[in-house]
Amino acid sequence: MALPKRIIKETERLLADPAPGISATSHEDNLRYFDVVIAGPNQSPFQGGIFKLELFLPEEYPMSPPKVRFLTKIYHPNIDKLGRICLDILKDKWSPALQIRTVLLSVQALLSSPNPDDPLANDVAQHWKENENAAIQTAQEWTRKYATA
Amino acid sequence: MAKIPRNFKLMEELEKGEKGIGDGTCSYGLTEGDDMLMSNWNGTILGPGHSVHENRIYSLRLYCGEHYPDVPPTVSFISRINLPCVNQQTGLIDSSRLSCLSNWKRNYGLETVLTELRREMAMPHNRKLPQPPEGSAY
Protein backbone atom coordinates (compact mmCIF):
# COMPACT_ATOMS: atom_id res chain seq x y z
CA MET A 1 0.00 0.00 0.00
CA ALA A 2 1.21 3.51 -0.80
CA LEU A 3 2.75 5.45 2.03
CA PRO A 4 0.73 8.55 2.99
CA LYS A 5 2.16 11.73 1.48
CA ARG A 6 2.62 13.26 4.90
CA ILE A 7 4.99 10.48 5.96
CA ILE A 8 6.97 10.80 2.72
CA LYS A 9 7.31 14.55 3.26
CA GLU A 10 8.39 14.16 6.86
CA THR A 11 10.96 11.51 5.96
CA GLU A 12 12.44 13.67 3.21
CA ARG A 13 12.72 16.65 5.49
CA LEU A 14 14.32 14.63 8.27
CA LEU A 15 17.04 13.62 5.82
CA ALA A 16 17.47 16.96 4.07
CA ASP A 17 17.30 19.16 7.14
CA PRO A 18 18.00 17.13 10.27
CA ALA A 19 17.54 18.67 13.71
CA PRO A 20 20.89 19.25 15.47
CA GLY A 21 22.02 16.13 17.32
CA ILE A 22 19.24 13.97 15.90
CA SER A 23 19.15 11.57 12.99
CA ALA A 24 16.25 9.43 11.82
CA THR A 25 16.40 7.02 8.91
CA SER A 26 13.60 4.76 7.78
CA HIS A 27 14.11 1.07 7.10
CA GLU A 28 14.14 0.19 3.41
CA ASP A 29 11.72 -2.68 3.93
CA ASN A 30 9.41 -0.76 6.27
CA LEU A 31 9.12 2.95 5.63
CA ARG A 32 7.12 3.47 8.83
CA TYR A 33 9.97 2.15 10.96
CA PHE A 34 12.90 4.47 11.77
CA ASP A 35 16.32 4.03 13.30
CA VAL A 36 16.94 7.09 15.42
CA VAL A 37 20.13 8.38 16.99
CA ILE A 38 20.10 11.20 19.54
CA ALA A 39 23.30 12.74 20.88
CA GLY A 40 23.23 13.35 24.63
CA PRO A 41 22.70 17.11 25.09
CA ASN A 42 25.54 19.30 26.40
CA GLN A 43 25.36 20.19 30.09
CA SER A 44 23.28 17.09 30.75
CA PRO A 45 24.43 13.84 32.43
CA PHE A 46 24.07 12.25 29.00
CA GLN A 47 26.60 14.53 27.29
CA GLY A 48 28.99 12.57 25.09
CA GLY A 49 26.56 9.66 24.75
CA ILE A 50 25.09 8.39 21.51
CA PHE A 51 21.62 7.00 22.17
CA LYS A 52 19.87 4.67 19.76
CA LEU A 53 16.10 4.63 19.56
CA GLU A 54 13.46 3.12 17.33
CA LEU A 55 10.31 4.84 16.11
CA PHE A 56 7.24 3.39 14.43
CA LEU A 57 4.35 5.20 12.77
CA PRO A 58 1.23 3.11 13.32
CA GLU A 59 -1.50 2.81 10.70
CA GLU A 60 -3.50 5.59 12.39
CA TYR A 61 -0.62 8.11 12.31
CA PRO A 62 -0.94 11.13 12.45
CA MET A 63 -4.22 10.66 14.31
CA SER A 64 -2.28 8.51 16.79
CA PRO A 65 1.21 9.34 18.05
CA PRO A 66 4.36 7.59 16.87
CA LYS A 67 5.68 4.81 19.10
CA VAL A 68 9.19 5.52 20.34
CA ARG A 69 11.58 3.49 22.47
CA PHE A 70 15.21 3.72 23.59
CA LEU A 71 17.39 0.82 22.49
CA THR A 72 20.38 2.07 24.46
CA LYS A 73 20.25 1.58 28.22
CA ILE A 74 19.83 4.90 29.98
CA TYR A 75 19.54 6.02 33.62
CA HIS A 76 16.71 8.52 33.55
CA PRO A 77 13.61 8.90 35.79
CA ASN A 78 11.23 9.12 32.82
CA ILE A 79 12.63 6.18 30.85
CA ASP A 80 12.16 2.63 32.08
CA LYS A 81 14.32 -0.50 31.94
CA LEU A 82 12.86 -1.46 28.59
CA GLY A 83 13.47 1.97 27.06
CA ARG A 84 9.85 3.10 27.26
CA ILE A 85 9.49 6.87 27.52
CA CYS A 86 7.08 8.80 29.74
CA LEU A 87 6.29 11.86 27.68
CA ASP A 88 2.84 13.47 27.51
CA ILE A 89 2.93 14.15 23.76
CA LEU A 90 3.44 10.44 23.13
CA LYS A 91 0.21 9.80 25.02
CA ASP A 92 -2.75 12.05 25.85
CA LYS A 93 -1.14 15.31 24.71
CA TRP A 94 -0.53 14.07 21.18
CA SER A 95 -1.80 16.29 18.40
CA PRO A 96 -1.70 15.57 14.66
CA ALA A 97 -0.03 18.97 14.29
CA LEU A 98 3.08 17.46 15.90
CA GLN A 99 5.59 15.57 13.78
CA ILE A 100 8.38 13.03 14.03
CA ARG A 101 10.80 15.94 14.30
CA THR A 102 8.93 17.60 17.18
CA VAL A 103 8.65 14.28 19.00
CA LEU A 104 12.38 13.65 18.75
CA LEU A 105 13.20 17.21 19.83
CA SER A 106 10.97 16.63 22.89
CA VAL A 107 12.82 13.42 23.70
CA GLN A 108 16.11 15.27 23.39
CA ALA A 109 14.75 18.00 25.70
CA LEU A 110 13.68 15.33 28.19
CA LEU A 111 17.33 14.26 28.41
CA SER A 112 18.26 17.82 29.39
CA SER A 113 15.52 18.11 31.97
CA PRO A 114 14.69 14.87 33.78
CA ASN A 115 11.42 15.15 35.67
CA PRO A 116 11.46 12.90 38.78
CA ASP A 117 8.00 14.13 39.81
CA ASP A 118 6.37 12.29 36.90
CA PRO A 119 8.40 9.11 36.94
CA LEU A 120 8.24 5.95 34.91
CA ALA A 121 11.25 4.33 36.53
CA ASN A 122 10.35 4.72 40.21
CA ASP A 123 13.67 3.59 41.67
CA VAL A 124 15.58 6.02 39.46
CA ALA A 125 13.18 8.87 40.29
CA GLN A 126 13.55 8.24 44.00
CA HIS A 127 17.33 8.27 43.66
CA TRP A 128 17.06 11.54 41.73
CA LYS A 129 14.93 13.16 44.44
CA GLU A 130 16.93 11.93 47.42
CA ASN A 131 20.38 12.57 46.08
CA GLU A 132 20.43 14.36 42.77
CA ASN A 133 24.22 14.53 42.55
CA ALA A 134 24.62 10.79 43.05
CA ALA A 135 21.87 10.06 40.52
CA ILE A 136 23.53 12.31 37.97
CA GLN A 137 26.79 10.51 38.58
CA THR A 138 25.12 7.14 37.91
CA ALA A 139 23.57 8.58 34.75
CA GLN A 140 27.03 9.71 33.61
CA GLU A 141 28.48 6.27 34.35
CA TRP A 142 25.72 4.56 32.38
CA THR A 143 26.28 6.99 29.53
CA ARG A 144 29.97 6.06 29.43
CA LYS A 145 29.25 2.36 29.80
CA TYR A 146 26.34 1.89 27.40
CA ALA A 147 26.10 4.94 25.15
CA THR A 148 29.54 5.35 23.71
CA ALA A 149 29.96 4.01 20.19
CA MET B 1 -1.62 -1.97 6.42
CA ALA B 2 1.32 -0.75 8.44
CA LYS B 3 3.61 -3.65 9.30
CA ILE B 4 4.38 -3.50 12.99
CA PRO B 5 8.08 -4.20 13.74
CA ARG B 6 9.09 -7.00 16.12
CA ASN B 7 9.94 -4.82 19.13
CA PHE B 8 6.77 -2.77 19.03
CA LYS B 9 4.66 -5.89 18.59
CA LEU B 10 6.35 -7.49 21.61
CA MET B 11 5.90 -4.27 23.58
CA GLU B 12 2.17 -4.40 22.85
CA GLU B 13 2.08 -8.05 23.90
CA LEU B 14 3.96 -7.21 27.09
CA GLU B 15 1.54 -4.43 27.98
CA LYS B 16 -1.41 -6.72 27.30
CA GLY B 17 0.19 -9.49 29.36
CA GLU B 18 0.86 -7.08 32.25
CA LYS B 19 -2.81 -6.12 32.34
CA GLY B 20 -3.82 -9.79 32.32
CA ILE B 21 -5.43 -11.52 29.40
CA GLY B 22 -8.99 -12.76 29.14
CA ASP B 23 -10.21 -14.76 32.11
CA GLY B 24 -6.76 -15.20 33.63
CA THR B 25 -6.38 -18.85 32.59
CA CYS B 26 -3.20 -18.01 30.65
CA SER B 27 -0.57 -15.42 31.44
CA TYR B 28 2.90 -14.45 30.33
CA GLY B 29 5.66 -11.95 31.01
CA LEU B 30 9.34 -11.27 30.38
CA THR B 31 11.74 -13.62 32.17
CA GLU B 32 14.03 -10.68 32.97
CA GLY B 33 12.30 -7.32 33.44
CA ASP B 34 15.21 -5.45 31.86
CA ASP B 35 15.63 -7.63 28.76
CA MET B 36 15.57 -4.85 26.17
CA LEU B 37 15.56 -7.43 23.37
CA MET B 38 12.41 -9.01 24.84
CA SER B 39 13.51 -12.49 23.75
CA ASN B 40 12.82 -14.71 26.75
CA TRP B 41 9.34 -15.07 28.23
CA ASN B 42 7.65 -17.15 30.87
CA GLY B 43 4.11 -18.36 30.47
CA THR B 44 1.61 -20.14 32.68
CA ILE B 45 -1.48 -22.11 31.83
CA LEU B 46 -4.11 -23.01 34.36
CA GLY B 47 -5.26 -26.55 33.53
CA PRO B 48 -8.78 -26.63 32.07
CA GLY B 49 -11.65 -27.94 34.16
CA HIS B 50 -13.24 -31.37 33.52
CA SER B 51 -9.85 -32.78 32.57
CA VAL B 52 -6.91 -34.45 34.30
CA HIS B 53 -5.26 -31.02 34.21
CA GLU B 54 -7.87 -29.36 36.41
CA ASN B 55 -6.29 -27.16 39.13
CA ARG B 56 -2.76 -27.78 37.86
CA ILE B 57 -0.58 -24.82 36.94
CA TYR B 58 1.79 -25.38 34.04
CA SER B 59 4.90 -23.26 33.45
CA LEU B 60 6.32 -22.68 30.00
CA ARG B 61 9.27 -20.99 28.39
CA LEU B 62 8.77 -18.98 25.19
CA TYR B 63 11.54 -17.60 23.03
CA CYS B 64 11.04 -14.88 20.41
CA GLY B 65 13.99 -14.68 18.04
CA GLU B 66 15.00 -11.70 15.95
CA HIS B 67 12.66 -12.65 13.11
CA TYR B 68 9.58 -12.91 15.32
CA PRO B 69 6.70 -12.43 14.43
CA ASP B 70 7.57 -13.40 10.85
CA VAL B 71 8.50 -16.73 12.39
CA PRO B 72 6.73 -18.27 15.39
CA PRO B 73 8.19 -18.37 18.90
CA THR B 74 9.93 -21.49 20.23
CA VAL B 75 7.83 -22.87 23.06
CA SER B 76 8.50 -25.52 25.65
CA PHE B 77 6.89 -26.76 28.82
CA ILE B 78 8.91 -26.49 32.03
CA SER B 79 6.28 -28.50 33.94
CA ARG B 80 6.03 -32.11 32.84
CA ILE B 81 2.92 -32.86 30.80
CA ASN B 82 1.69 -35.71 28.66
CA LEU B 83 0.32 -34.15 25.49
CA PRO B 84 0.86 -35.40 21.90
CA CYS B 85 2.47 -32.15 20.69
CA VAL B 86 5.01 -32.08 23.56
CA ASN B 87 8.35 -33.88 23.33
CA GLN B 88 8.41 -36.14 26.38
CA GLN B 89 12.19 -35.92 26.80
CA THR B 90 12.60 -32.16 26.58
CA GLY B 91 9.20 -30.51 26.96
CA LEU B 92 9.67 -28.79 23.61
CA ILE B 93 6.55 -28.32 21.51
CA ASP B 94 6.63 -29.93 18.10
CA SER B 95 5.47 -27.01 15.94
CA SER B 96 4.18 -29.38 13.25
CA ARG B 97 1.69 -30.75 15.77
CA LEU B 98 0.22 -27.48 17.00
CA SER B 99 -1.76 -25.71 14.30
CA CYS B 100 -1.11 -22.11 15.42
CA LEU B 101 2.63 -22.81 15.13
CA SER B 102 2.51 -24.80 11.89
CA ASN B 103 0.18 -22.22 10.29
CA TRP B 104 1.75 -19.25 12.04
CA LYS B 105 0.49 -15.78 11.08
CA ARG B 106 2.08 -12.45 11.84
CA ASN B 107 -0.89 -11.22 13.87
CA TYR B 108 -0.70 -14.20 16.23
CA GLY B 109 1.08 -13.77 19.53
CA LEU B 110 2.22 -15.55 22.67
CA GLU B 111 -1.37 -15.48 23.88
CA THR B 112 -2.48 -17.40 20.77
CA VAL B 113 -0.02 -20.19 21.55
CA LEU B 114 -0.92 -20.45 25.24
CA THR B 115 -4.68 -20.45 24.65
CA GLU B 116 -4.39 -23.06 21.91
CA LEU B 117 -2.31 -25.29 24.17
CA ARG B 118 -4.95 -24.97 26.84
CA ARG B 119 -7.63 -25.92 24.30
CA GLU B 120 -5.50 -28.94 23.32
CA MET B 121 -5.41 -30.08 26.95
CA ALA B 122 -9.21 -30.02 27.07
CA MET B 123 -9.72 -31.97 23.81
CA PRO B 124 -11.70 -35.22 24.26
CA HIS B 125 -8.73 -37.34 23.10
CA ASN B 126 -6.31 -35.52 25.45
CA ARG B 127 -8.20 -34.63 28.56
CA LYS B 128 -7.95 -38.08 30.14
CA LEU B 129 -4.33 -38.90 29.23
CA PRO B 130 -2.36 -40.17 32.25
CA GLN B 131 -0.16 -37.36 33.58
CA PRO B 132 3.21 -37.20 35.38
CA PRO B 133 3.09 -36.25 39.06
CA GLU B 134 2.02 -32.68 39.67
CA GLY B 135 4.91 -30.28 40.10
CA SER B 136 7.54 -32.35 38.23
CA ALA B 137 9.69 -30.55 35.68
CA TYR B 138 11.72 -31.34 32.55
- Does B78 contact chain A (CB < 8 Å)? no
For the CA atoms of A37, A42, A139, A24, the dihedral, rounded to the nearest 10 degrees, stands at -10
Give contacts of A62 with chain B, Cβ < 8 Å: none
- Does B125 contact chain A (CB < 8 Å)? no
Cβ atoms B35, B11 nearer than 8 A: no
Predicted confidence (pLDDT) at residue B103 exceeds the cutoff of 70: yes
Cβ atoms A60, A52 nearer than 8 A: no
Predicted confidence (pLDDT) at residue B18 exceeds the cutoff of 80: no
Query: What percentage of chain A carries pLDDT values higher than 70?
Result: 99
B21-35 per-position pLDDT tens digit: 778 899 999 999 999
Cβ atoms A129, A114 nearer than 8 A: no
- In angstroms, the separation between the Cα of residue B77 and the nearest Cα of chain A is 26
Give contacts of B35 with chain A, Cβ < 8 Å: 82
Mean pLDDT value across residues A10-19: 94
A43-61 per-position pLDDT tens digit: 999 999 999 999 999 999 9
Give contacts of B34 with chain A, Cβ < 8 Å: 81-82
- In angstroms, the separation between the Cα of residue A120 and the nearest Cα of chain B is 14
Mean pLDDT value across residues A23-38: 96
Residue A67 known to be catalytic: no
Which of B5, B35, B38 minimises the CB distance to A30? B5
Predicted confidence (pLDDT) at residue B19 exceeds the cutoff of 80: no
The DSSP line for B64-116 is --TTTTTSPPEEEESB----TTB-TTT-BB-GGGSHHHHT--TT--HHHHHHH
Which structural domain range is residue A55 located in? Answer: 5-146
Cβ atoms B69, B9 nearer than 8 A: yes
Single-letter amino acid, residue B41? W
Backbone angles phi, psi at A109, to 5 degrees: -65, -35
Cβ atoms A55, A83 nearer than 8 A: no
Query: What percentage of chain B carries pLDDT values higher than 70?
Result: 100
Task: Say how far apart CA A66 and CA A32 lie, in whole Å.
Answer: 9
CA–CA–CA angle A45, A50, A52 (5° rounding): 115
User: How many domains does chain A divide into?
Assistant: 1
Q: Which of A75-84, A100-109, B10-19, B87-96 has the lowest mean pLDDT?
A: B10-19
Q: Report residue A135's pLDDT band, with 50, 70 and 90 as the boundaries.
A: very high
- Does B36 contact chain A (CB < 8 Å)? yes
| pLDDT (0 to 100) of residue A1 | 61
Task: Say how far apart CA A93 and CA B85 lie, in whole Å.
Answer: 48
Q: Residue A95 belongs to a domain with what CATH number?
A: 3.10.110.10
Q: Which one is catalytic: A86, A90, A120, A135?
A: A86
Which of B8, B14, B35 minimises the CB distance to A67? B8
Residues in contact with B65: Cβ distance below 8 Å, sequence separation at least 6, in sequence order: B39, B71, B73, B74
Cis peptide before A62 (omega within 30 of 0): yes
Predicted confidence (pLDDT) at residue A148 exceeds the cutoff of 80: yes
Q: Which pTM was predicted?
A: 0.92
Task: Say how far apart CA A138 and CA A101 lie, in whole Å.
Answer: 29
